[in-house]
A = this chain, B = another copy of it.
Amino acid sequence: MIKVLVVEDDEVTAMNLKMSLEKQGYEVVSIADNAVTARNKIKIYNPDIALIDIGLQKTMDGIELAQFIREKNPLPFIYLTAHSDNEMLSKAKKTEPYGYIVKPFDPVNLHTTIQMALYRFKEEKKRNSNINELMSDREELEKLVYAKKLSDKPIVEFGNGYRHDTGLGETFYENQKIKLTKKENAFIRLLVAQLGSVVDFEQAINYVWDTKGATDNSVRTLVWRLRNKLPTDVIKNASGVGYYLEE
């Protein structure tokens, strides 16, 4: 049986609604006379649909209640109204109600509107879950692309048997990866980027070191360590200038 929550502060209207609904086979789980109560009742009874008097006076009006429902507890809702000024209308339409009934209500109209609202809600839910599926699909793809570090950046060859993958930022000698530290890697990247020309000290310091900077000797030490890790002698020195890679 379809569970209906009635939110209406006029007792007479509320009872009329209740009777009319019950006669048509609906179950009125509760009647709330204000928005706060309504929120609680929704949590407790988990109704299938709510009929909301748009002109509730206390604490929060019907429109705010509808916004709460949209955000926190999706549920189809139908507005009940006695009259309607333009301001209220423009607010009400922003909540995209599932139906709208002008008092005094007609029982048949009530039934029809509820049925339509239930149907639309069901369909929208379906559509939303489809959309969510698509979204998570898309995210997975994005991650896959990211994981593979998809890049059309080139692989540069140098020395004799060296390969540097610009995308990965890694260096290989005869297809063997060379394990380097962060700064060593950075320096190699710089040398590769400048393949064919000399990297001077200042350039190296600016590129490899951030903020603090370093001395020329730091660069020399770095080169020394790097040379120890590279099987062959590919890092050449241009005396008085800097370093370069053998092509």
Contacts and interface: CB of A to CB of B under 8 A. Distances in A.
Contacts of A94: 119
A109 interface: yes
B97 A102 contact: no
A190 interface: yes
B198 A170 contact: yes
- How many copies of this protein are present in the complex? 2
A183 to B, nearest CB: 8
B131 A116 contact: no
A96 B120 CA distance: 6
Size range of the interface on A? 35 or more
A194 B83 contact: no
Given A100-B99, A115-B93, A144 B146 contact: no
A131 B131 CA distance: 8
A238 B144 contact: no
A106 B102 contact: yes
A118 B178 CA distance: 47
A93 B117 CA distance: 8
A190 B140 CA distance: 12
A182 B240 contact: yes
A59 interface: no
Contact of A181 (B131, B144, B179, B239): B239
A37 to B, nearest CB: 26
A112 B84 contact: yes
A232 interface: no
A23 interface: no
Contacts of A147: 189-190, 193-194, 203, 207
20 contacts: A89-B111, A93-B115, A99-B100, A102-B109, A141-B145, A144-B150, A144-B151, A146-B203, A146-B207, A147-B190, A148-B148, A148-B193, A149-B194, A149-B203, A150-B150, A168-B197, A177-B197, A181-B240, A183-B240, A185-B241
